[in-house]
Structure 1
Amino acid sequence: MQHNNSNKNINLSDFDLKSLELLNIQKNMGLLAIYADILSYISTLESIDLVYAQYDKNAKNVHNPDIPALQASYIYLFTRTIFTQVGFTKYDMLLERYNRGDYNYSLDPNRKINMANLLGIVANSYSLSAIEEIYLREKDQPIFGI
């Protein structure tokens, strides 16, 4: 996908400028969420190594899989929080247009996205709390389900 931003002669509306700003934030958070997925994957690989290391008397310097899992969980919570802010900001922009009569579509899908994001924050908070507890409890135990 190519985005040609080189045409500086485009006179974008304030609404579209703000929409592009939100989309760029969303794009960056998407990349950060992919990084969190990679950390989660690394944690899983390190967990597999940890299980095998229990049967290998020569295993040394086995990585702690809790660390990338914890890092991933912090990033997931952060990105979900930013996605939520983007969603609410866009909703407010649409609501303003709706109230002026410039937007004729239902705002219900946007409300649902906002609710899903709020629930995602709660879910990510619970996950982070659980991962922190496992990390503090036992540093050589794989974390499942992330």
Structure 2
Amino acid sequence: MLSTGKVIRFDEFKGYGFVAPDEGGEDVFIHVNDLDFDKRLLAPGVRVEYVAEHGDRGLKAGQVQIVDSAAPVQHRPAHPVAHAVSASTGHEYDDVVCDVLARGDFSTELTEALLQANRGLTAEQVLDVREAVIRIAASHKWLEG
């Protein structure tokens, strides 16, 4: 049975959020794997249509479709860079826009990605790779501070 509701929160990095059903009741879990559209289109206030399914931890939205995206889509703020040079080609770009993350947020995301990519990595290997990538990100000013 199709239900409708409004997104009350959605974290595009973690890949999940919650919908408040129009008919009331408990909030419904929504996961990026159940979307057939760009996850960046979900934001608080966006109305969706979905099939409520029973998941491991309660109701879960399946077959999610956007009904009304009249609410402004909210993205992380992008920080403009006046001038950038490609490290591989040397090509110069003007008016480049990129996301800049706090060092702690980047570190957390990177650690999670490394563990998901290869659960066989030791803690020492994860820390070594993370340190190297953070140094690269910092040198390109991809991190705040």
Give the structure with the larger helix fraction: 1
- TM-score normalised by the chain length of structure 1: 0.23
- Which is strand-richer, 1 or 2? 2
- TM normalised by structure 2 equals 0.23
Larger RCO (CA under 8 A, 6+ residues apart): 1
Larger radius of gyration: 1
